[in-house]
Structures are given as C-alpha cells and as structure tokens.
Chain A
Amino acid sequence: MTIETTALGTLALIAIMAVVTLATRFGGVFLMSFVRISPRIESFINAMASSVLIAIIVPMAWEGDAGARLALLTTAVLVLLIRKPLPAIALGIATAALVRYLG
C-alpha cells in the first residue's frame, strides 16, 4: 500500500507516523500495567534501563568517525574524573569539532 504525497496524503502519512510513535511512548507503560512487579522484574527493569544507553552509544561509537569516538572518550574520561556532566559534554562536542577541523 502506498500513499501519494499530495497535501492530504502527506497529512495522512504524518498522522500515521505520529500514531506509531505515540504507541511506542504509551505501549511500554501500558503493557507493564499487566505485570506484577516482583523484585526480579524490578531488577530486570533497572538493568535494562542503564543498558538502553549503552546499546545506543556503543554502535554509535563503532560506526562513527575519529571525531565521534574521541568525543565520546573525552566525555567518558571527564565525567568519571570531574563528575560534572555539562563540562564533560561540552568538551566532548568541542573535541569532535576540533578533530574534524584538523582532519
């Protein structure tokens, strides 16, 4: 099935995207309302939550250029050393810009 990108068709496509995205925002919480939260389920949820970030970042670093990798490395080292997220993020971004400028 295809939709022509006329004015009306584009509206329909945007509506479809909005509904699908909303379903992902609501769906996890909706499904969890049928689950009894045992300590084991809570432990699953907590481990999953911090793993989401790793599962986003690791492939990003893998496919990224030198700028991307050094940016993540800079942020990681700084946040572990100085424990302040904002300077760590800012210097990470600056590192990406610098490496790409020099490269």
Chain B
Amino acid sequence: MNPFTPVYHLQPGKVRAEFFRLLPISLFVVAFGAAFGLAASQAGLSPLQSILMSTTVFAGASQFAALDMWGTQVSVLPLVAVVFAINSRHLLMGASLYPMLRELPVGQRYGILLVLTDANWAVAAQDYQNGRRNLEVILGGGLVLWLAWLLGSLLGVYFGGLLQDPQALGLDMVLGCFLLAMALGGKKSPRVLVAWSVAALASMAAYWWLPPNTHVVIGALAGGVVGYFWLEGSKQP
C-alpha cells in the first residue's frame, strides 16, 4: 500500500456526537416506522417478519412498495426490480462518499455503509460541500436512524392504532423538508445552480416518461454530467 495514502480515523467521540445530532430527526423516523409496522400487519406479515424486514432491509420506501406487492404469493423478479429501483439512489450516495471512504480500511468502509440512508448521507454530503469531512455521521447517525426505524416498526406492529393518520400531522414531509434544508445549506455556486436545474428537469422528465422509481437516479446523473463538463473554478461550461 502506498505509504502516502491519507488515512481516515473514525473518532468514537464524534460518532457519539453525530448519534445525538440526528436524534431529533430520528423521533420522526419512529413515527414512519410505526406507519410501516401497521401497514405490514395489515398486509399479513407476522410481527416477527415485519421486524425482521425493518432490521435487515432498513429502507422505508422500498419496504412500503414491497407491501403493495404482497399476497398469498409474491413474484420475485418484479419485487427485485422495484426494491432495486427505489434503492438505487444508495449507489450514487455511496459513490459520492468514495473520496472519503477509500481512506478507511475495507472492513470499516463497508461496515458503516450497512446503515447508509438518506438523512445521514445528506448531512455527510452537506458537510463535505462545506469542506468538513464527516464519515462519523454515517455511522453514528445511521445507528440512531436504524434504531428509530426498528422501534417505530415494533410500535406499529403492536400499537398500530395509536397513529392513524401520520399525514394529518405533516409527518410525511419530514424527510422532504430535511433533505431540502440540507441541499440549501450546502455551497451554492452558479455551477451548482445549473446542475440543480438540469437535475430538476431530468427528474421530472423521468417521472413522467420513464418507468416508475427511476427519476432520482436519472435526475442525479444528469446533474452530475453538468459537473463533469463544468469544472469548479472554470468560468465557462
């Protein structure tokens, strides 16, 4: 190994701090988990199966989509396609962290990716844009989000009736508002604004005309192409 390769050391104290930093948003994740637990029970999953799915899959949107396909039997290929399409954004999120992740030992690199999800990634990405390297939030923030998802699923399975209508409380907008706040808190240059406009147009085009659940990846890649041709620091695209 190249002795000059920089090494990223995960700091336990910072991992703990990031755990508590994402605790407030995790409380909302509990509410979502409860909605999933309730829906899973109604779809015919046993309590243990619902909890097992939340523990091992830990990707809410795809879990809800799977419930829509649940019956006395489930077609495997459509299930794989839908779960892959909805979660394919993880591919891009992971790739975007690669400049930092490559400095971790392989075990830690893939270990912290076990709890990679939208919210902790959004914080890490925003910090990176602002010049702060923060992989601790992937681990610490990911753990608190994962625990919240499990706790919520448990509550939903056993006390589902408590939260009949999360939409009425605006709880379906938690992730959207959180991600928007992270996006707008990052660095805004003309280049970023052009990338955003292209991403917005491409994602809407994909939303209308391409197969369902492809719009996030299409929009993000389209925004990335702007970056590929328009380097930081150069004036012209």
- Kindly identify, within residues 52 to 79 of chain B, every residue whose CB is under 8 Å from any CB belonging to chain A: 52-53, 56-59, 62-63, 66, 70-77, 79
**A86 CB, min distance to chain B CBs, angstroms:** 7
Query: Quick one: given A2-B74, A58-B203, A96-B173, are A72 and B92 in contact (CB under 8 Å)?
Result: no
B90 an interface residue at 8 Å Cβ cutoff? yes
**B83 CB, min distance to chain A CBs, angstroms:** 5
B47 an interface residue at 8 Å Cβ cutoff? no
Complex: A41 Cα to B44 Cα, angstroms:
46
- Which residue, B76, B89, B183, has most C-beta atoms of chain A within 10 A? B183
Chain A interface, >50% SS class: helix
B227:A62 contact, CB within 8 angstroms: no
- Kindly identify, within residues 210 to 237 of chain B, every residue whose CB is under 8 Å from any CB belonging to chain A: 215-228, 230-232
**B174 CB, min distance to chain A CBs, angstroms:** 6
A43:B113 contact, CB within 8 angstroms: no
- Which residue, A4, A24, A63, has most C-beta atoms of chain B within 10 A? A24
Query: Quick one: given A4-B73, A25-B90, A56-B179, are A37 and B170 in contact (CB under 8 Å)?
Result: no
Complex: A59 Cα to B24 Cα, angstroms:
26
Complex: A52 Cα to B227 Cα, angstroms:
13
Complex: A103 Cα to B49 Cα, angstroms:
38
B180 an interface residue at 8 Å Cβ cutoff? yes
B14 an interface residue at 8 Å Cβ cutoff? no
B224:A17 contact, CB within 8 angstroms: no
**B98 CB, min distance to chain A CBs, angstroms:** 4
- Which residue, B66, B98, B226, has most C-beta atoms of chain A within 10 A? B98
**B74 CB, min distance to chain A CBs, angstroms:** 6
- Kindly identify, within residues 83 to 103 of chain A, every residue whose CB is under 8 Å from any CB belonging to chain B: 83, 85-86, 88-89, 92-98, 100-101
B179:A57 contact, CB within 8 angstroms: yes
Query: Quick one: given A28-B91, A47-B224, A71-B170, are A16 and B219 in contact (CB under 8 Å)?
Result: no
B195:A75 contact, CB within 8 angstroms: no
A45:B99 contact, CB within 8 angstroms: yes
Query: Quick one: given A14-B56, A47-B226, are A100 and B170 in contact (CB under 8 Å)?
Result: yes
Q: List 18 A-B contacts (CB under 8 A).
A: A16-B80, A17-B83, A18-B53, A26-B113, A29-B95, A29-B113, A44-B225, A50-B223, A51-B196, A51-B224, A52-B219, A55-B200, A55-B217, A59-B207, A61-B176, A83-B185, A97-B170, A100-B170
The 3 closest A-B pairs by CB, nearest first: A51-B223, A47-B227, A55-B219
**15 extra interface residue pairs, beta carbon distance < 8 Å, beyond A32-B95, A93-B170:** A5-B71, A9-B73, A14-B53, A21-B57, A28-B98, A40-B228, A48-B224, A49-B220, A51-B224, A52-B216, A53-B125, A55-B200, A68-B176, A75-B180, A100-B168
